[in-house]
Structure 1
Amino acid sequence: MIAAWTSRHTLLTLLSLSVPEALLHAQEPGQINSPDQTFTSADGSTVIYPAAFFAPYSPVSVTDMLDRIPGVSVGGGGGGRGLGTGGDLLINGQRIAGKDNSPREQLDRIAAREVERIEIIRGTSAELDVRGSGQVVNVVLTESDSRSSTQIELVGRLNHDDTAEAGASLSHSRQIGGLQALFNLESRPNYENRQYNETQYDALRNQIGTLSETNIRDQDIYEFSGNMSYRIGEQSMQFNVLFSDFSHPRYISRQFDDRLEDEDTDYDFENWEVGGDYGIAFENGHRAQLLFVATDQSRDYIRERFDVDAADNRNKSLYTESNQRTRERIVQGNYNMPLTDAQDIRLGLERAVTRLDSSLFIGSRSTDEPVSDRYGGLSPRPLLSNPGTTVEETRYEAFVFHNWTLNDRMTLESSLLYENSEIAQSGNVTNSRRFDFLRPSLDYRFNFTDSMQLRATVSKGVSQLSFSAFAATANNNDREQNANAGNPELEPQEETRFEVGLEYRLPADSGVVNSRIFFRDIKNYIGKINATTNPAQPLSAEGNVGPATRWGIFNDASLRLGFVGLPDAIVSAELNIFDSEITNPFLGSKERINRRGEAELGFRHDVTALRLSYGFDYRYPFHGGEYDIDIRTITRNDRQPSLNLFVSKVFFDDLTVRLESDNTLDDYECRQRQRFEPTTVNGFLDRIEESCSSRFRRLTLRVQSTF
């Protein structure tokens, strides 16, 4: 039920069906001293921030409001298997039926003045539209017969090479009775000039060459999105639409010791999505919902490499054309009903059809094949190419969730999902396979007090396969290895997850401290395997390597600095440490499959008297020897510390000017790559390449206003 502020003492009353009633019972009259204070629901599971709490900070958007709440981290939407039931963000108690078009993308577009309150939901409930999250953020908008707002943002960016770029966004929100609509049109600059320097050594560490590379991405991202919802009585409807264009050219120039090489790439990336849902609540407490999503994504590009002589004549040496179109159609129905006063159950069924059409054409000067216009006027590389492959999956997922309030301090949510799918492939390979999986989970929460909560979860997970790995794909990470082989026998990765976490919320909303320990037992880990069919052309592919394990600990804290006289300053810190192990299929050695972790320190201070904010975010990655081992290379990538700064000022009540310094330390990414001949399995070390690259710092000026 949607709760609203009414009458004296700002009581919570029930207005409609957007927010679960059980989670929003407020404290009794007299327990709230002021409407600008935060408070906790009667069962301690929800922390509520009224709009008046944020007024001293002059926020423009919902994102600005969330920045003032300690311990809040909202993930994105999209990705994953179908629609599912996961997520950590609701708007008016509802999630958006979308994958790329997610509620997270809307937070910058919703004006702060339209928000009635923000709720941090720490408990589980059968009435929530999302399940299994550590905490859920619910943004409740103000109820009104009629309202509208328009938000404009202008963006200017200066890059290290003195290239200036500009962008803008326009958002309009309107409510007329039960109809609400939000539309956004955006042009986002995304230029990058990455400088790359490499030194090459032989096996004895004698320098044998150098390489200097300039890699320029000349990109502007264009996006249109819309969300419309309508509520009448006990029924609600939503419709969402998204269109994005990421197309751009990329130019690369490489200077070796004795030669010059250029690359031109023309990327054509587009994506559209429509989605919606219909929900109805019955008088007996039962609820039904129907959701659908349709997506269509095209990712095509042509890359041409040229040798450049002293007279600047360009002689084509490599042609790569990659085409991928992915379409997905999903529909889900679910039904929720109470069993007792303390127990609820949700039943659901989802059907998803995903189809990928792909092709890859690689031509070069290094073969004896006759030249072909289809391969850019060069000789075809048939072992590396994919003239056309179609992969289609039809998947059914049935699920049941049971939510049980054991007592006023404990809840237990259990679920069981059954998944049945068929994957059919046609093209160079004709293949069809069926898969069946059971995915149980348990989520137990115990409130020691209203401020301290223990959470323990056990669950079974199944990965979504990347259909592009079923056929040959271009390798854009290694200039000497132009393609990866396909693997039509690839199977989903399964893992059993164990996690225990403890959260403590400090008194008077002065901060949050979290710690989580996890362990992952992985079956059929997806990594690189040997896919060579011709010894003269060693190839690798994505494949099921075998069992693996991951473990680690997440620690984070977010504190208001009132104890040192800065109540409007928040300092946040993270310390995350991971480890993992797998037997590498090429070397037979025990290797790590993920990074070691990182430390992060953030700071934000709002000088409310001046309507000024400033802060920073510093990240320090831990290096620990994780390697990407391939058929011919062993690669280690290391990131360096990074620092982002910002300062923001509000003018004339509704005009915000924000200056950002991104990558202030000229953060480098460094790599060591060892090349073996003929392979890492049975060859010798031929060359060592040590390189670092950076796009360097850039300055961004944002001017935002709402009217």
Structure 2
Amino acid sequence: MRLKLFAATAALCIAMPLHAAAQEASQDGAVLTYAPGYFDAYSPVTALDMIAQVPGFSIDNGAQVRGLADTFANVLIDGERQSTKSESIQQILQRIPVASVERVELIRQVVAGVDMRGQTRVINVVLAEDAGVSSTLEVSADYWVGSGLITPEVIASTSWDMGNTRLTVGGEFTQNGAPLLRDEYLQDGAGALIETRSERTSRLSTSPRFNASLTTRFDDESRLSLSLNGGVTDGVERDRSLAALPGGALDRVELYTTDSHGTSLEGTATYERPFTESLSGQLVFLNRDDTYSSDDAFTFTPATGSGSTSYYASTVDDGERALRGTLTWEVNDHHSLEIGAETALNYLESGLEIMEDTGTGPVAVPLPVANTRVEEQRSELFVSHVWQASEAVTVESGFRLEHSTIEQTGDAQRSRSFDYPKPSITLTWDQTAETQWTVSLEREVSQLSFGQFASEVSPTESQVVIGNPELVPSKVWRGSVAWERRWGPEASLTITLTHERAEDVNDLRPVTVVVDSTTTPVTTATFDAPGNIGNGQRTYLFVEAAIPLDRIGLSGARLDVSGMLRDSQVTDPTTGETRRYMGNEDWRLSMDFRQNFTEQKLAWGWGYYNQGNEDAFRYDQSMVWTYGSPQVDAWIETTAIDGMTLRLTWGDFLPSVRERERTFYTGSRADNIVSGREFQQQDLGGYIIATARRTF
């Protein structure tokens, strides 16, 4: 059924070769240019609003990894990538008023002088010169249906354009009070009901943030960009579970409370200088420091008898220092070369203390690898070459050589070094002015998450995952073929087929450790730990389309469709059987509809999201998550008040329900002796958002 729906969506896209005229859009080879007037019907307030309406393009923030090489989004501002990692490109674009944008360019293949960084499509936001002073303000109120809370959000920024210098200062204040409502029931291995649970999670997080950026150009055409951003996040969470026996009598009450505090501060500096007309250089420096601490308590209160309370105190400090230098040489009209180097220092220090009180006073509970520090020193050399083989064919090839040393101290002592080559090649062929093919092959080496080196506990799920100092990165060969067809500047269809072959797939695997060496024989326990589980493979089919609907009678309307089919295979470390990757759904479908009524200064739309089930596997249990119904949002927007955009959104109004089936086993899953099953229905809850936005 899902495959038929996916195929029907693709067929609809192919059957709509619309060529609606857009007087404010033009094409010059690989570059589609959208003037500000193109977006007037969408009443944009910021550059983010403009990019959201570029047909056939979606923002990719890049990988969340250490260093700078793979972290850049597919959006440029004045031809340059943004170096910050603590902020998304959406947050940066949200601070750029429409009045500061001269044009938006969609670049569909490698172009001389444009830093594509291996990406096949990027947006370049070209800022207007001498834009003066402009400000943006957004105020919203979120009503959370499940909890009845109303939380505010305020985002403000001001930009000053002073000749060769542009200064932007902004801040935001956000609160989140999204509740979680769950119903659970537990069966024994024979299917008999053991208990039911009614659970509710109430939470409130508050986060004020600030940001500032400065860009200045010098007489020698060099440019210096500085940015600083930071914030504080305070959160409170209360999780209550009422467990009842089959007859309805209360069996126990479980209460889990969390009080957390986090800080973040990041600064970046980028200096670019042209040495000649064909030779230029760039230096990027990044410094980031984050902290997090939480005090948690899990109270178990039975209907009869004595209970217990467990206390968890955790701290995490992590930071990064990175320096990247690049030299770019435009050899001639057909060849360009980029060489450079990057070095980075990253660290994470994690601490977890557990105490349990059964009525006689708190007693420390030992946990392997609970307190540890991980530090990585990483260096990389890279070179890339762009060859314009003909007017229709472009080849981009690259080679990166990475060396890293990871040292772990504390509860686990380990030091290891890794050396990995990472070649890549991308070929782009413009079959016609409207049709483009892209073929790529690359080797990717994943970065190890420092959090996987330290142990963690989930009291409400009765789960423990211990840190694994022996984990090694996963290595992936990835090949893809993409076909893109555009009908003018407004309609497009992109189909991409990708296949991956992986070594040392990262997943959870069982690890047996000694928990008491004083007994005879010693006492051991088996935990789940991050580990490498061998080779695996994945195949993806992506479809992305922008479909104007004027020809079917919906004037000023467009439907954006994005879908994915995925097949994955890996060997389970516990059972030895073939299964899919943990957390990898087989399909995903999202749709966004918008219709503008320009004369009435009104617009409305809806969004749809659904996906296949996900699963997770542990040594003695398995879990399957199923989306019982799609998430559907609806909104209405008006610009009747001059200079202001008002929007009312009803999010997840069905509402969607997420179901989980959790199977428990006696001993290992490999023995297939089921001891019980837990069924959970989670109401994600709806929300209503009222938003007012304007520029000054």
Deviations 1:95-123 (A, max 9, x none): 11111224332122211121110000001
Q: Which one of 500, 517, 526 corresponds to residue 497 of structure 2?
A: 517
What secondary structure, in the 3-state scheme, does the structure 2 residue paired with 1:192 have?
Answer: coil
Tell me, which stretches of 5 or more residues in structure 1 are unaligned? 1-33, 372-376
> Residue 78 and residue 573 in structure 1: after superposition, are their counterparts in 2 closer, same or farther (change >3 A)?
closer
**Is the contact made by 1:101 and 1:225 (CA closer than 8 Å) also made in structure 2?**
no
What secondary structure, in the 3-state scheme, does the structure 1 residue paired with 2:469 have?
Answer: coil
- Find the counterpart in structure 2 of residue 328 from structure 1: 320
> Residue 385 and residue 291 in structure 1: after superposition, are their counterparts in 2 closer, same or farther (change >3 A)?
closer
Shift of 1:562: 2.5
**Is the contact made by 2:201 and 2:237 (CA closer than 8 Å) also made in structure 1?**
yes
1:640-655 mapped onto 2 (5 Å cutoff): 640-655=629-644
Query: For 1:105 and 1:134, how far apart are their aligned partners in 2?
Result: 23
- Find the counterpart in structure 2 of residue 255 from structure 1: 242
- Find the counterpart in structure 1 of residue 381 from structure 2: 398
**Is the contact made by 2:273 and 2:281 (CA closer than 8 Å) also made in structure 1?**
yes
> Residue 684 and residue 310 in structure 1: after superposition, are their counterparts in 2 closer, same or farther (change >3 A)?
closer
Q: Which one of 621, 626, 631 corresponds to residue 633 of structure 1?
A: 621
Q: Which one of 463, 479, 482 corresponds to residue 501 of structure 1?
A: 482
**Is the contact made by 1:394 and 1:423 (CA closer than 8 Å) also made in structure 2?**
yes
- Find the counterpart in structure 2 of residue 57 from structure 1: 42
Residue 582 (structure 1) aligned with residue 570 (structure 2) = yes
> Residue 117 and residue 284 in structure 1: after superposition, are their counterparts in 2 closer, same or farther (change >3 A)?
closer
- Find the counterpart in structure 2 of residue 532 from structure 1: 512
RMSD of aligned Cα (Å): 2.0
Shift of 1:410: 0.4
Shift of 1:536: 5.4
Query: For 1:281 and 1:403, how far apart are their aligned partners in 2?
Result: 19
Query: For 1:65 and 1:96, how far apart are their aligned partners in 2?
Result: 18
Shift of 1:513: 0.2
Q: Which one-letter code corresponds to 2:171 in the other structure?
A: L
TM-score (norm 1): 0.89
Deviates more, 1:207-216 or 1:637-646: 637-646
Query: For 1:167 and 1:628, how far apart are their aligned partners in 2?
Result: 35
Deviations 1:175-218 (A, max 9, x none): 10111122221111211111011011111211111111111111
Q: Which one of 413, 420, 427 corresponds to residue 437 of structure 1?
A: 420
1:11-410 mapped onto 2 (5 Å cutoff): 36-41=23-28, 44-76=29-61, 79-84=64-69, 86-144=72-130, 147-160=132-145, 161-233=147-219, 234-257=221-244, 258-308=251-301, 316-365=308-357, 378-384=362-368, 386=370, 388-410=371-393
What secondary structure, in the 3-state scheme, does the structure 1 residue paired with 2:40 have?
Answer: helix
Query: For 2:241 and 2:372, how far apart are their aligned partners in 1?
Result: 33
Q: Which one of 462, 476, 480 corresponds to residue 462 of structure 2?
A: 480
> Residue 385 and residue 519 in structure 1: after superposition, are their counterparts in 2 closer, same or farther (change >3 A)?
closer
Q: Which one-letter code corresponds to 2:479 in the other structure?
A: F
Equivalent residue pairs, number = 656
Shift of 1:329: 0.4
**Is the contact made by 1:126 and 1:346 (CA closer than 8 Å) also made in structure 2?**
no
What secondary structure, in the 3-state scheme, does the structure 2 residue paired with 1:666 have?
Answer: coil
What secondary structure, in the 3-state scheme, does the structure 2 residue paired with 1:104 have?
Answer: helix
Q: Which one-letter code corresponds to 1:307 in the other structure?
A: F
Q: Which one-letter code corresponds to 1:525 in the other structure?
A: V
Residue 694 (structure 1) aligned with residue 677 (structure 2) = no
Shift of 1:58: 2.7
Query: For 1:683 and 1:325, how far apart are their aligned partners in 2?
Result: 41
**Is the contact made by 2:511 and 2:528 (CA closer than 8 Å) also made in structure 1?**
yes
**Is the contact made by 1:523 and 1:546 (CA closer than 8 Å) also made in structure 2?**
yes
Query: For 2:458 and 2:42, how far apart are their aligned partners in 1?
Result: 48
**Is the contact made by 2:110 and 2:116 (CA closer than 8 Å) also made in structure 1?**
no
Query: For 2:340 and 2:111, how far apart are their aligned partners in 1?
Result: 16
What secondary structure, in the 3-state scheme, does the structure 1 residue paired with 2:505 have?
Answer: strand
- Find the counterpart in structure 2 of residue 22 from structure 1: none
Deviates more, 1:84-93 or 1:196-205: 84-93
Query: For 2:574 and 2:45, how far apart are their aligned partners in 1?
Result: 54
> Residue 385 and residue 399 in structure 1: after superposition, are their counterparts in 2 closer, same or farther (change >3 A)?
closer
What secondary structure, in the 3-state scheme, does the structure 2 residue paired with 1:259 have?
Answer: strand
What secondary structure, in the 3-state scheme, does the structure 2 residue paired with 1:437 have?
Answer: strand
Tell me, which stretches of 5 or more residues in structure 2 are unaligned? 1-20, 245-250, 515-522
Shift of 1:69: 2.2
**Is the contact made by 2:322 and 2:342 (CA closer than 8 Å) also made in structure 1?**
yes
Shift of 1:302: 1.6
Residue 463 (structure 1) aligned with residue 446 (structure 2) = yes
Query: For 2:565 and 2:672, how far apart are their aligned partners in 1?
Result: 35
Shift of 1:657: 0.6
Query: For 1:270 and 1:78, how far apart are their aligned partners in 2?
Result: 22
Query: For 2:104 and 2:549, how far apart are their aligned partners in 1?
Result: 22
Residue 659 (structure 1) aligned with residue 640 (structure 2) = no
Query: For 1:672 and 1:384, how far apart are their aligned partners in 2?
Result: 29
Query: For 2:159 and 2:535, how far apart are their aligned partners in 1?
Result: 50
> Residue 140 and residue 395 in structure 1: after superposition, are their counterparts in 2 closer, same or farther (change >3 A)?
same
Shift of 1:309: 6.1
**Is the contact made by 1:91 and 1:103 (CA closer than 8 Å) also made in structure 2?**
no
Q: Which one of 588, 605, 613 corresponds to residue 603 of structure 2?
A: 613
**Larger RCO, structure (CA 8 Å, separation 6 or more):** 2
**Is the contact made by 1:77 and 1:102 (CA closer than 8 Å) also made in structure 2?**
no
Off by >6 Å, runs of 4+ in structure 1? none
Query: For 1:435 and 1:152, how far apart are their aligned partners in 2?
Result: 48
